[in-house]
Amino acid sequence: MSDITFVAPRYGADVVGGAELGARALATRLSAEGLDISVLTSRARSFDTWVDEFPEGTTNEEGVSVSRFSVDHPRSPDFAASCDRLLRNPEQASMEDARQWISEQGPTSTDLLDAVAEVHSGVLAFTPYMYHPAVQGVTLARVPTVLHAAAHPEPPLGLPVFDGLFNSVSALAHYSRPEQRLVSDRFPSTVLTPQVVMGLPVEAPDFEIDPQAARRTFGLGDEPFVVFLGRVLRSKGTHELVDFFAATRARRGGGKLVIVGPVVDEVSERDGIVCVGPVSEEHKFGLLAAADVLVNPSPLESFSLVVLEAWLAGTPVLVNGWCGPTRDHCAQSGGGLWYSNFVEFEVSMNRLLDDAELRSRLARAGRSYVERSFSWPAVRQRYQSLLSQIS
Amino acid sequence: MQDDATAAREYVSRIQEEIQTEAHQRRESNPALVIQEREISQAWTRSVPGAAAVNWDTDSPADLKANAEHLLGCVDSLSLLDVDAPVGSRRGVRQVKNTVRRLTRWYLRYLADQINAFNHFLVNLLRSTEQRIARLEGGARAAEILGGFVDPVPEADAPLGEAVADLLARCDGPVAVASCGGGQIVSALVRAGVAAHGVDESAGVISDGVDEGLDLRVATPFEHLDRIADGSLAGVVLTRSVERLGPVELSTLIDEALRCVEPSGRIVVAVADVLTRSGPEAELLRGVGLSPGTWAHLLANRGCVVELSEFDGSRVTTLVTAQRQ
């Protein structure tokens, strides 16, 4: 019987996604400390289709017992169209429509839900809030539950189907204070639910960071550059970053933006913009260390690992000021700047690129913040403190 | 380490102010930049969900003011309607769209001019309303402004935390600590086995407590209590910046706290005695805060059984405990 059973729509070393990475970071570290940790998840690797890809059954992965279940049906190709209609005005959606949406959103797996109902000891930890296993699973739970919601200010959060989930969990583990505030505003009755702003463990890699090797590999020479790291996705602000950077570059008369990560929405070719695609962890940290600035233009983040990893690599950050969690990281750490419009972006970028002392001071403050607040012992203490209130 | 963190926060805050000032000056001096910014911002706004346009960090009057000004700036820049719809880059389609645009331009321009004129006056009206509200707030916040000239209320120390925890140790339900600071009282309550959480207006002040795993949140006592259903708390602790509230706010706070506690719930007030103030503090904070005796009087008047207990602290020397009947 497990001490903690995580329930996630997808799980695995090669599964990309913030909440999924968060669940794995917690599960593996807790397991390494001797706790009995299990994961109940689907066989899917892609959240676009939920097609079964991993083998069915239970395996041991990095010390964690991972049980994968087939989905009842893959996601309908028409899902995006039905989303558009419903999410234009989510607060007005009927409960029936919202339930239908969560079923279509998936991954719907009767076997997975049966396994949730069979958990008789420990704690069930659901993540993230937006998928079928959390919404339905929490209604079947027989043990205390904690929700790692990973909530953003996004349209689905307004659907009435999530009231039951947030109001019935035993505890809430937030990634950031803005997320806590968002949840508290949207679901006022969670005000008395035990909760903690836990974040995620972020630690320096166990290999030596080699910026020169990364520069050589991607042909970046000795030129200074700005880096973006993450999925290249319109909703993550990547295209706006390209527009902002191109306009800034035209006025500065030079500069380079290196875009690192899988390309979902194509970016048009521009001078000074280099797309290198997905890279290894070694090159990721190498590029972070070699860059003058990391920019995270996303307006929708619940934590943003990459901002904290940039600080560990000794690089300051510039973030989208409309994004509460990344802005909060910068304001609380003193490790980065934020912009709310193009002119602020340009002024901030120019200051960062032209002032080595500013960059160094911000990076030092950021690193100190990560080490102080997001080391594994610090995060574990917060999680234990929360779990002790419900178990 | 805490001093370094505070210094880093203040440094970034100063740099951000400089950036905003420079951005403002650049917009003022370069009208072409405003047009370019508007075009880029419109493209950006299309992919940013409306819900993301929330300012999370409005935890001080200065922030609120800056936020209002920022939003007014956004309204100003977005209120200008442009009839030059983009025509795209595909050759045939572009020509058709260009023709449609030319044909409809005279009519759309006529409408857009009227709407732009209306928007222009509307934005000016909002600005003038904002200025009038600021003037009113200035008057209403006199006590708060004067309070800015004296030292902030210090953190509760460990003995005070223990003393409050002793008074609430038998609570069998959640306890909220209003104006919790770094969380000394919450921490003592949790050690005593009480399900306690705290709220404070300042994100910076609660950071250390949050890092230690305490349930501390950014909110004013009013905001927080307002969200709690009637009779849901076993206890409420009123402390720290409660000392700096005026009579109307204090009266509201007492009513809210009494509404939130269960029938036999307790309210503990742990504040310094206003009668012991001296020097600039006594003059600048006149009319702000209450002595323990007056707290006891107000709570008893609202039907509570009140006890005063001596406490050997450097600032707080009497604790007021009120039990709802």
Q: Domain check: are B63 and B165 in the same one? A: no
| B43: chain A residues, CB-CB within 8 Å | 240, 243
Q: Is the alpha carbon torsion for B66, B67, B69, B70 positive or negative?
A: positive
Residue A118 to chain B, least CA–CA distance (Å) = 29
Query: How many H helices and E strands in chain A?
Result: 15, 14
- CB–CB of B51 and A324 under 8 A? no
Beta bridge partners of A147: A126, A172
Q: Is the alpha carbon torsion for A362, A365, A368, A372 positive or negative?
A: negative
Is B56 in CB contact (< 8 Å) with chain A?
Answer: yes
- The CATH number of the domain holding residue B174 is 3.40.50.150
The pLDDT, as a whole number, for residue B65 is 65
> Coil, strand, or helix at residue A321?
coil
Q: Domain check: are B166 and B235 in the same one? A: yes
More reliable by pLDDT, A107 or A19: A107
Report, at the CATH architecture level, how domain A4-201+375-390 is classified.
3-Layer(aba) Sandwich (3.40)
Residue B43 lies in a domain: yes
Structure tokens at A154: 């996004």
A26: amino acid identity, one letter: L
Q: Where are the beta strands (DSSP E) in chain B?
A: 175-178, 196-200, 216-218, 233-239, 261-270, 304-310, 318-324
Dist. CA B152–CA A13, nearest whole Å: 49
For residue B97, pLDDT over 50 is answered with: yes
Are the beta carbons of A90 and A158 closer than 8 angstroms? yes
- CB–CB of B8 and A243 under 8 A? no
Query: What are the CA-CA distances from residue A327 to residues A117, B56, B267 (Å)?
Result: 39, 9, 36
Residue A25 to chain B, least CA–CA distance (Å) = 18
Tell which of B3, B10, B15 to mutate to test the A interface (max A CBs under 10 Å). Answer: B15
Residues 6 or more apart whose Cβ sits within 8 Å of residue A391: A122, A123, A144
Residue B301 lies in a domain: yes
A31: amino acid identity, one letter: S
pLDDT in tens, B252-262: 999 999 999 99
Q: Which of A192, A243, A331 sits opposite B40 (nearest CB)?
A: A243
Is A191 in CB contact (< 8 Å) with chain B?
Answer: yes
Point out the domain boundary residue: B114, B146, B178: B146
Neighbouring C-beta atoms of residue A34, cutoff 10 Å: 9
Structure tokens at B144: 């708060």
Q: Domain check: are B182 and B238 in the same one? A: yes
Is B35 in CB contact (< 8 Å) with chain A?
Answer: no
Structure tokens at A251: 């006025």
Bridge-based pairing state of the strands B233-239 and B216-218: unpaired
Dist. CA A176–CA A170, nearest whole Å: 19
The pLDDT, as a whole number, for residue A78 is 82
For residue B85, pLDDT over 90 is answered with: no
For residue B52, pLDDT over 60 is answered with: no
Q: Domain check: are B114 and B231 in the same one? A: no
Residue B94 lies in a domain: yes
Q: What is the number of structural domains in chain B?
A: 2
Dist. CA B150–CA B180, nearest whole Å: 20
pLDDT in tens, A221-269: 888 999 999 988 888 889 989 999 999 999 898 889 999 998 888 888 8
Alpha-carbon Rg for chain A in angstroms: 21
Are the beta carbons of B225 and B261 closer than 8 angstroms? no
Q: What rounded mean pLDDT belongs to chain A?
A: 93
Chain B residue with Cα closest to A198:
B213
Got the DSSP string for B163-194? Answer: HHHHHHTT--S-EEEET-TTSHHHHHHHHTT-
Residue A373 to chain B, least CA–CA distance (Å) = 6
For residue B10, pLDDT over 50 is answered with: yes
Q: Domain check: are B162 and B124 in the same one? A: no
Q: Tokens 């169209």 correspond to what residue?
A: A81
Q: Domain check: are B21 and B121 in the same one? A: yes
> Coil, strand, or helix at residue B282?
helix
Residues 6 or more apart whose Cβ sits within 8 Å of residue A117: A140, A141, A142
Residue A183 to chain B, least CA–CA distance (Å) = 12
Beta bridge partners of B320: B269, B308
Q: Domain check: are B100 and B19 in the same one? A: yes
Structure tokens at A196: 């903690």
Tell which of B4, B25, B35, B44 to mutate to test the A interface (max A CBs under 10 Å). Answer: B44
The pLDDT, as a whole number, for residue B30 is 78
B248: amino acid identity, one letter: V
First-residue to last-residue Cα distance in chain B: 46
Question: Do the domains spanning A4-201+375-390 and A211-373 agree at the CATH topology level?
Answer: yes
Residue B151 lies in a domain: no
Residue B152 lies in a domain: no
Q: Domain check: are B162 and B101 in the same one? A: no
**Nearest to A39, CA basis, from A60, A54, A53, A56:** A60
Q: Tokens 């930049």 correspond to what residue?
A: B33
Is A151 in CB contact (< 8 Å) with chain B?
Answer: no
A223: amino acid identity, one letter: E
Count contacts between A and B (CB, < 8 Å).
173
Q: What is the domain range of residue B305?
A: 158-324
Domain locations in chain A as residue ranges: 4-201+375-390, 211-373
How sure is the predictor about B100, in pLDDT bands with cuts at 50, 70 and 90? confident
Please give the angle made by the CA atoms of A84, A89 and A91, to the nearest 5 degrees.
130
Tell which of B3, B11, B12 to mutate to test the A interface (max A CBs under 10 Å). Answer: B12
Tell which of A341, A361, A379 to mutate to test the B interface (max B CBs under 10 Å). Answer: A341
Q: Domain check: are B35 and B75 in the same one? A: yes
| A348: chain B residues, CB-CB within 8 Å | 19
Q: Which of A178, A184, A299 sits opposite B48 (nearest CB)?
A: A299
Q: In what order do the strands lie in the sheet with A226-229?
A: A273-277, A257-260, A226-229, A293-296, A317-320, A336-339
Looking at domain A211-373, what is its CATH homologous superfamily? Glycogen Phosphorylase B; (3.40.50.2000)
The pLDDT, as a whole number, for residue A60 is 97
pLDDT in tens, B107-128: 888 888 888 888 888 888 888 8
Q: Where are the beta strands (DSSP E) in chain A?
A: 4-7, 37-42, 57-61, 64-69, 123-126, 145-147, 171-174, 195-197, 226-229, 257-260, 273-277, 293-296, 317-320, 336-339
Residues 6 or more apart whose Cβ sits within 8 Å of residue B297: none
For residue B57, pLDDT over 80 is answered with: no
Residue B188 to chain A, least CA–CA distance (Å) = 14
The pLDDT, as a whole number, for residue B260 is 96
> Coil, strand, or helix at residue A315?
coil
| B52: chain A residues, CB-CB within 8 Å | 152-154, 299-300, 322-323
ipTM associated with this complex: 0.79
Structure tokens at A45: 């690797």
Residue B88 lies in a domain: yes
Say what percent of chain A tops pLDDT 70. Answer: 99
Structure tokens at A252: 């500065």
Q: Domain check: are B216 and B319 in the same one? A: yes
Is B45 in CB contact (< 8 Å) with chain A?
Answer: no
Residue B153 lies in a domain: no
For residue A306, pLDDT over 50 is answered with: yes
A64: amino acid identity, one letter: V
Please give the angle made by the CA atoms of A222, A227 and A233, to the nearest 5 degrees.
145
Point out the domain boundary residue: B146, B181, B196: B146
Point out the domain boundary residue: B115, B146, B177: B146
For residue A153, pLDDT over 70 is answered with: yes
Q: Domain check: are B126 and B11 in the same one? A: yes
Q: Domain check: are B268 and B134 in the same one? A: no
Q: Please tell me what DSSP assigns to residue A77.
A: T
Residue A86 to chain B, least CA–CA distance (Å) = 15
